[in-house]
Structure 1
Amino acid sequence: MSTVTCTTCPYCGTGCGVRAALQTDGSVEISGDPDHPANFGRLCSKGSALGETVSTEGRLLAPKIGQRPAAWDEALDVVAEGFQHAIDTYGPDSVAFYVSGQLLTEDYYVANKLIKGYIGTANIDTNSRLCMASTVAGHKRAFGTDTVPGTYEDLEAADLVVLTGSNLAWCHPVLYQRLAAAKAARPSMKVVVVDPRRTATCDIADLHLALRPGTDIALFNHLLCQLHELGVIDSTYVSAHVAGFDAALDAASGTDVQVTGLSHKDLSTFVSWWATTEKTVTVFSQGVNQSDHGTDKVNAIINCHLASGRIGKEGMGPLSVTGQPNAMGGREVGGLANMLANHLEIAEPSHRALVQDFWASPTIVTSQGLKAGDLFKAVKGGKIKALWVMCTNPAVSMPNASEVRAAIASCDFVVVSDMFDTTETAQLADVVLPATGWGEKTGTVTNSDRTISRQRGFLPPAGQSRHDWQIICDVAKRLGFEDGFAFDSPADIFKEYAELSGKAAQLGVDFDISGFAQISPDDYDALSPTRWPYPAENTANARFFAEGGFFTPSRRANMIAVRQPDHKTPEANTTFRLNTGRIRDQWHTTTRTGRAARLNQHYGEPFVEIHPEDALQLGLRPAELAVLENHYGRAVMRVLVTDRVARGAPFAPIHWTMQTASEGCVSDVVHPVFDPVSGQPDSKSSYVAIRPFLPKWYGFVVSAQEIAPKTAYWAKSRTSHGWQYEIAHDEMPDCWESFARGVFEAPDALASSVIDTNQSKARIALHQGDKLLGALYTDTRPVSLSRSFAASLLNSRGEGILAGRAGANQPDPGATVCACFNVGVNTILNAIDAQSLVTVEEIGTALAAGTNCGSCKPELAALLNTKLARTAAE
């Protein structure tokens, strides 16, 4: 009999409920929680594969000081002494925490309490700065506080949904499926996608506005002016509840919408739909936020909703969807350098006094701390003497990552608490502390529509790992702050946090969960998903702003005058504006998703999407390698030639690090430019030069064990039977068999090979006894073979391995299209032929492909259309 635990997914901000069934053999079966209001049982490919990611393989199991293992007491003493020395010698502002939207709210709360109320500095920032800080700043400018007015139900109730800077199908697949299902049930619903790229989300779009990168403000300013001209402004609402309308309209009227590059027809259609559709929701995400004018983009969107009164009512309003599971929870507890806990403001004396009094803390910060970009500049400049990084890897995720790595390496004292000591940041640390991960941790998270959910542990901590809140409290006690951190459980922390929220609400802020201020441990354990506000009297409306009631001093919303910035001039010899983002089956830097073999089969190595005309101009052919470089660094990536991107605007994913590819870290070429209001990095408009990477040969390797190729290019990914590697090198070996033995570190293995006469192509398999250890395939061109077939033969006799393709009696599924059910492209194409399938739904019935998260449906449709078109032409 399995034990089932209801918990929450650790990936994106959708906040899906998960049922984890721990089996008697230690394995974990994952399913969606049908009772959770975020997903109602749906899960995406990443969530579905969670059970494959919970092994302790590669985990840090004990503290480390330098390169040696240490006992917890010794390690914690060293951490406390390192921070105390910096504080005593250089003052509180010489220390900093850099934390993560993957922490639970209780972890976040005690970290914020320690540094702001006890150490006495606001130098705590979070990797959420990289994904949603511009939304926070935009909300605060418009509403007076960081309030998300919309809910997921609004997506289904709307008659028009505008998705801007959001590839919902890949980045928030369950929300995409909720939207797709609503549209299928009510075909009159319109969906508009605003994105320079043609993404998978466009599959359900009635209109795709492929505007020029960075011109979102021009589009929404144009919309505001047109709403005014068409008489769609809700003058009653504006008169009663809005300030700044005239100034915002005046600024918008100076916008030249032609900079968007959109046709008059598409602009007219967009404006007409918006003007005539009261129930309109605008969804926005990283494509809006990650900009040096991201806050202005957010306010340009909000302006249109305020001016039309389309906010706070069913099926209408702006809706920010966050990238991390607890980005919202971090915002609630003051995890950003410019905030206090519970949406209170550092700049407000009454707010500071309330928090200090409630905490009974020896001090309270009086000015905001260093935001992420400035924080690492301060580390580089020697102003930060002690740095504690929790649950994140800024050495590869921050822009200009090579400089961040150098900064961390130069810091006097660095602590990292993480599940792994192999991350690029952990490798630079003086002390590494083993932290628990998903499946072991317990606490709460808040999703993008303000729903608080429990994340529950169902596995014991790996090795000696401890929960983040415990580690923070143990260090706090060693710093002399025993009384403020005498928590016995996350329930204790949550209870204190809820009590503080009630007092904060009395000062007029939005966040209030004081209904939980007396929560018992048993009730905390049983806590069901709850959307805040949840005040003690439990009379709150789940919606904000339909009747005004904003949190500014005047109680009016502010429309903000924003202008489209001038076009950026690229640096010398860099003509391509690089867009970065996520792919369907990976998340962040793949430390968890990379452990699930099936999630690596869709895209298994770093790549750059480039327009066919750009590729022709540069001399790049499909599947070759390209170098992307600029003043900050370089990256090497596989070339994917596609018209999904515009000319001059290539796209590359963020997921690869120095652990998974030789030069696949795209952050090395992302410029360190930040929004002046929010401090969020501009990750969408770094200019790069692109040129061919010209190796002497390309290779593909499958190996039963992890190896370390000594080649000019390599990228690795896990398979269900071992590992696979794409490699390339700039020198030909003298002997391919000797080279292969060196690759596999197997000098005594039995080799079988096929090598052409001029030594330019080789296929070599190595066996130990009757088991295949691995195989190497090389060519002067990118290697063509069935990668899934070759990988499937590892640890078997390996029959047919040198052919590189399955025989007639061995069906080859081909590259994975549906990661949820591990369905390959060849399986799909064969089923279309054999069963005369003509719709995506029929493919789902036959193979289950596309019936879970549905994010592969656009690819299924493309395969189907291509196959049917070829059949019709024959």
Structure 2
Amino acid sequence: MSAIEQTTTPLTAIQQTQTTCPYCGVGCGVDISQQNGQLLPVAGDSRHPSNFGRLCVKGSALHETISHNGRLLYPLMNGQRSSWTQAINLIADKIQQVIHTHGPDAVAFYGSGQLLTEDYYVANKLMKGFIGSANMDTNSRLCMASSVASYKRAFGSDTVPGCYEDLEQADLLVLTGSNAAWAHPVLYQRMVAAKKANPDMKVVVIDPRRTATCDLADLHLAIRPGSDAFLFTALLAYLGETNNLDHNFIALHTEGFGSALETARQQCRSLKDVAGQLDIEASDLAQFFHWFADTPRTVTFYSQGINQSATGTDKGNAIINVHLATGRIGKPGATPFSITGQPNAMGGREVGGLANQLAAHMDFSAAERDRVRRFWQAPNLAERPGLKAVDLFQAVKRGEIKFLWIMSTNPLVSMPDADDVKEALKHCELVVVSDCMADTDTAAAAHVLLPAASWGEKNGTVTNSERRISRQRGFLPPPGEAMPDWWIITQVAHALGHADAFNYSHPADIFDEHARLSAFENNGSRDFDLSGLSAMSRAQYDAMAPVQWPVNAQYPQGRQRFFDDRRFYTDNGKARFIAVAPELPVPRTGGDLIMNTGRVRDHWHTMTRTGKAPRLAQHISEPYADIHPQDAALRGIEDGSLVRIFNPRGSLLLRAHISDNQRTGEIFVPMHWTSRYASAARMGTLTDSSVDAISGQPELKFSAVNAEPFRPGWQGFVLSRHDIGTPDCAYWACGVFGDDIHNPGMVYEVAGQGDAGQFVDALRQRLPDQALKGQWLTLSDPAQQHYRHVLIVNNQLEAVIFVHKDLQFSNRQWLTECFAQSELSSQQRRALLAGQPADAPDHGAIVCSCFQIGEKQIIQAINNGCDSSDALGKALRCGTNCGSCIPELKTLLASHSAGSDTQPAALFSDAACTAVEL
């Protein structure tokens, strides 16, 4: 046997696990492969009916987010490590003390669509059934509460009627309040494929912004923010006026049509008037109305732009009204389709995750309270709905809530008036946070921190936007002493004396109880029924395939669509029209611009996972504000400069993007950046606490703000192999880079006032001791606030600090690639001080995150003859995986002709540099 054979470790068989993506509500299946204890790159599950093997760039990077960096590993009490027993006993003792002194309503839980259904179930059972308070709400209140309310008003139940196949069978696809290309990329690619297969399909995008989704649109209606209800109410009036109605369906299966139509007619006198209210061309409005009237197979696909509104419930019912009026429900390719934002927002709805719900789609009516109480054997079951999210945190601030447990969410970033929520937590006697990450805005406000298992470690189920239940299977052991949420909650229940009611040893036990409750005294009277999934063995639960509920004797393999039988869940079995009198949102005091908020392509919520993946930080690396050129010119704001966005509630400091994709008078700010990743980018600080009167969902898409330029004395950036913490300057934003997901480098964009030299000196002191033994290459000109400091350790690049009073923005990609070099040449050293690449290629800003294709590579390919996104895909692979970059590829194709490529610009001008030290 050779020496090589003696020392080579034999490869073991590859271990496979099928699980579900933890990001958006699409619910994609994911294949996990491990060999010799190493996790291989993830792949889409080709057998999963939600994605058929496709993954977006976030899903494709899941294996890059599982490092233990930043994980909460042990229970902490007041910042000190404790045991699970100590933490559990403290929580239970405090709950008992609060109940005894102030009553159960002084206790509150705040959950998340990130929880698995089994976690959610035991939390709701403990809170509403045994503590006896319904003050259990969830961040899903910020996501889809208005859709729930509108479905219940129309159908008598929170029933999503359609399925993903309807997107492919429609002849007219209406997307409103949804940037699906970025927020639900896999569904968007199914739409793209459907339109390619059916060129006669028409796509209408209704959105104040011109987003990436508009790339698919035959018609873009850039309506006034918040005017969606006017649009769909006017459509109802038009359908009545032109007699494009399904009279038979209306007569036999609905009620309230006359009142709804008359209200619509009163609100919408003429096409011209409506177009004026919407601030769009009357001809475009007429085109949309004609297409809708003439197209039986119509899907209206809507998301947060509809829901996150003080009139979101009415907007949802205005959409449902036009589908009921035309009988376009329960049919292939014809449905009103609300898409959830979170991976298990639907599962939370199933178990009563909202404060106005009980489990299994039951509410607080006397009969349903009695049913749940008897099933749970819970004599202390809550008697009335609890406080919804905004009201809950206001009650905390007033001192009415004495104990608050926050699970797997970050409300100090996501809630409206977020600084007020931060202040509220100071008024609570005990704040418990269970999370997988230690360094979040909300964790910093907690008295007790509980380490929770994260994706890849949890075992249970989630339900996607089309009611499809999928298994999320663990394939990694939790680090440290982290535990599943259901276990944590169960242990508290035991300590409170409820061990018999919470005698679970595995998530399968919880799922079985959940399924049995759904079937309890049901007999077809409720939409949610999992009787066909009850009494499964542990092995059957482990092997459970994706299935759409209900699963019962009538639908043993699940049900694809509801209401194909024309039976609704109202008292008389008829769907209800809701008379909608539209209202435009009124700007509150705060400024003359309207701020909209939403997601970017490659990040998720508050970046606790995506912030760990270097390639996900490359597409958009800083928090920003999109501003129309006219608004920017009026305020002296330049593209790429820093801008202060503010109102009486607070202020943000962001990078200005000047773009005519915005309407004038409006700006867009992404939701993701937190105090961990930026100095002042928590968009929730500027949103007010206005809520929908029915659903309680806050208005997150319409906040009055001001904008003004922020002119720093110097700007620059820092790259380091080590986390340097929070830079001491007015503006900073950070992200990760490199190929080592367990030890990534950090990149910081920085800007400040005062002496840049003092900033640089202080920053150098933050670098680890071993790094200080390296060699510094410096080039400085204090008169120009110009400093370039390059630290080399063992002939490898360790850190770069570049600062100048007038920063010329250029790509950092080539600099990050220098960190991968095992040894720097003298030419590379000179290039680092020169601020531009030498022998290393500069690929430009990353456009395709999946395959790391830069803008300059794409432009070069265009110059070489690539004349379509398909041609670019064949040449570079960009756009061939998740497809999210295709709109940007088309923009580059449109704006660059052969020979237009430019040479890479230097990061700084050398003209004023006088002092050089090597």
TM-score normalised by the chain length of structure 2: 0.93
Q: Which moved more, 1:66-75 or 1:753-762?
A: 753-762
Q: Partners of 2:82 and 2:289 in 1: how far apart?
A: 63
Give the deviation of 1:762 after TM superposition. Answer: 2.5
Q: 1:436: which partner in 2?
A: 453
Give the deviation of 1:672 after TM superposition. Answer: 1.1
Structure 1 residues 127, 737: closer, same or farther in 2, change over 3 A? closer
Give the deviation of 1:541 after TM superposition. Answer: 4.4
Q: Partners of 2:135 and 2:423 in 1: how far apart?
A: 20
**Does structure 2 retain, via aligned residues, the 8 Å contact 1:723–1:791?**
no
Letter of the structure 2 residue corresponding to residue 838 of structure 1: D
> SS in structure 2 opposite 1:427?
helix
Q: 2:72: which partner in 1?
A: 60
Q: Partners of 1:737 and 1:335 in 2: how far apart?
A: 49
1:862 matches 2:891: yes
1:337 matches 2:355: yes
> SS in structure 2 opposite 1:109?
helix
> SS in structure 2 opposite 1:388?
strand
1:218 matches 2:241: no
Give the deviation of 1:219 after TM superposition. Answer: 0.6
Give the deviation of 1:745 after TM superposition. Answer: 6.3
> SS in structure 1 opposite 2:832?
coil
CA offsets, 1:93-118, max 9 Å, x none?
Answer: 00000000000000000111111111
Q: 2:122: which partner in 1?
A: 110
Give the deviation of 1:421 after TM superposition. Answer: 1.9
Give the deviation of 1:760 after TM superposition. Answer: 2.8
**Equivalent of 2:280 in 262, 272, 276:** 262
> SS in structure 2 opposite 1:341?
coil
Give the deviation of 1:505 after TM superposition. Answer: 2.6
Q: 1:489: which partner in 2?
A: 506
**Does structure 1 retain, via aligned residues, the 8 Å contact 2:587–2:594?**
no
> SS in structure 1 opposite 2:449?
strand
Q: Which moved more, 1:379-388 or 1:819-828?
A: 819-828
Give the deviation of 1:871 after TM superposition. Answer: 6.0
1:88 matches 2:100: yes
Letter of the structure 1 residue corresponding to residue 176 of structure 2: T
Give the deviation of 1:28 after TM superposition. Answer: 3.5
**Equivalent of 1:562 in 570, 574, 580:** 580
> SS in structure 1 opposite 2:708?
strand
**Does structure 2 retain, via aligned residues, the 8 Å contact 1:608–1:650?**
yes
Give the deviation of 1:605 after TM superposition. Answer: 1.0
| 1:589-738 map, 5 Å | 589-708=606-725, 709-720=727-738, 722-734=745-757, 738=761
1:174 matches 2:186: yes
Letter of the structure 1 residue corresponding to residue 667 of structure 2: P
| 1:41-52 map, 5 Å | 41-52=53-64
| 1:175-214 map, 5 Å | 175-214=187-226
**Does structure 2 retain, via aligned residues, the 8 Å contact 1:513–1:535?**
yes
Give the deviation of 1:61 after TM superposition. Answer: 1.1
Letter of the structure 2 residue corresponding to residue 827 of structure 1: Q
> SS in structure 2 opposite 1:758?
helix
Letter of the structure 2 residue corresponding to residue 518 of structure 1: A
CA offsets, 1:595-617, max 9 Å, x none?
Answer: 00000001111100000011111
Q: 2:49: which partner in 1?
A: 37
1:764 matches 2:789: yes
Give the deviation of 1:749 after TM superposition. Answer: 4.5
> SS in structure 2 opposite 1:801?
helix
Q: 2:836: which partner in 1?
A: 805
Give the deviation of 1:349 after TM superposition. Answer: 1.2
Q: 1:843: which partner in 2?
A: 872
Give the deviation of 1:795 after TM superposition. Answer: 6.3
Give the deviation of 1:175 after TM superposition. Answer: 0.1
> SS in structure 1 opposite 2:666?
coil
Letter of the structure 1 residue corresponding to residue 832 of structure 2: I
Q: Partners of 2:705 and 2:163 in 1: how far apart?
A: 39
Q: 1:773: which partner in 2?
A: 798
Letter of the structure 1 residue corresponding to residue 886 of structure 2: K
- Which runs of 5 or more residues in structure 2 are unaligned? 1-12, 739-743, 902-918
Letter of the structure 2 residue corresponding to residue 554 of structure 1: N
Structure 1 residues 434, 739: closer, same or farther in 2, change over 3 A? closer
Q: Partners of 2:402 and 2:122 in 1: how far apart?
A: 22
Q: 2:906: which partner in 1?
A: none
Question: What percentage of residue pairs aligned between the two structures are identical?
Answer: 49
CA offsets, 1:395-432, max 9 Å, x none?
Answer: 11101111101111221011111101211111111111
**Does structure 1 retain, via aligned residues, the 8 Å contact 2:397–2:424?**
yes
Letter of the structure 2 residue corresponding to residue 819 of structure 1: S
- Which runs of 5 or more residues in structure 1 are unaligned? none
**Does structure 1 retain, via aligned residues, the 8 Å contact 2:549–2:559?**
no
**Equivalent of 2:87 in 75, 80, 85:** 75
**Equivalent of 1:790 in 815, 822, 833:** 815
**Does structure 2 retain, via aligned residues, the 8 Å contact 1:786–1:805?**
no
| 1:107-186 map, 5 Å | 107-186=119-198
Structure 1 residues 726, 541: closer, same or farther in 2, change over 3 A? closer
> SS in structure 2 opposite 1:754?
strand
**Equivalent of 1:463 in 472, 480, 484:** 480
Structure 1 residues 733, 252: closer, same or farther in 2, change over 3 A? same
Q: 1:375: which partner in 2?
A: 392
**Does structure 2 retain, via aligned residues, the 8 Å contact 1:513–1:536?**
no
**Does structure 1 retain, via aligned residues, the 8 Å contact 2:141–2:389?**
yes
Say how many residue pairs are matched.
869
Q: Which moved more, 1:81-90 or 1:593-602?
A: 81-90
CA offsets, 1:448-506, max 9 Å, x none?
Answer: 00000000000011111110001101100100101100011110111111111112533
Letter of the structure 1 residue corresponding to residue 846 of structure 2: T
**Equivalent of 1:512 in 506, 516, 529:** 529
Structure 1 residues 92, 235: closer, same or farther in 2, change over 3 A? same
Q: Which moved more, 1:462-471 or 1:252-261?
A: 252-261
Q: Partners of 1:597 and 1:370 in 2: how far apart?
A: 39
Give the deviation of 1:736 after TM superposition. Answer: 7.4
1:393 matches 2:416: no
RMSD: 1.6
Structure 1 residues 671, 870: closer, same or farther in 2, change over 3 A? farther
> SS in structure 2 opposite 1:672?
coil
CA offsets, 1:216-260, max 9 Å, x none?
Answer: 011101111111111111110000111111111111112341210
CA offsets, 1:65-108, max 9 Å, x none?
Answer: 11111111111111111111111111100000000000000000
TM-score normalised by the chain length of structure 1: 0.97
Q: Which moved more, 1:754-763 or 1:641-650?
A: 754-763
Q: Which moved more, 1:771-780 or 1:128-137?
A: 771-780
**Does structure 2 retain, via aligned residues, the 8 Å contact 1:344–1:504?**
no
Letter of the structure 2 residue corresponding to residue 329 of structure 1: G
**Does structure 2 retain, via aligned residues, the 8 Å contact 1:577–1:649?**
yes
**Equivalent of 1:98 in 94, 98, 110:** 110
Letter of the structure 2 residue corresponding to residue 21 of structure 1: S
| 1:499-538 map, 5 Å | 499-503=516-520, 505-506=522-523, 508-538=525-555
Give the deviation of 1:188 after TM superposition. Answer: 0.5
Q: Partners of 2:298 and 2:627 in 1: how far apart?
A: 34
Structure 1 residues 742, 779: closer, same or farther in 2, change over 3 A? same
**Does structure 2 retain, via aligned residues, the 8 Å contact 1:752–1:764?**
yes
1:822 matches 2:852: yes
**Does structure 1 retain, via aligned residues, the 8 Å contact 2:14–2:33?**
yes
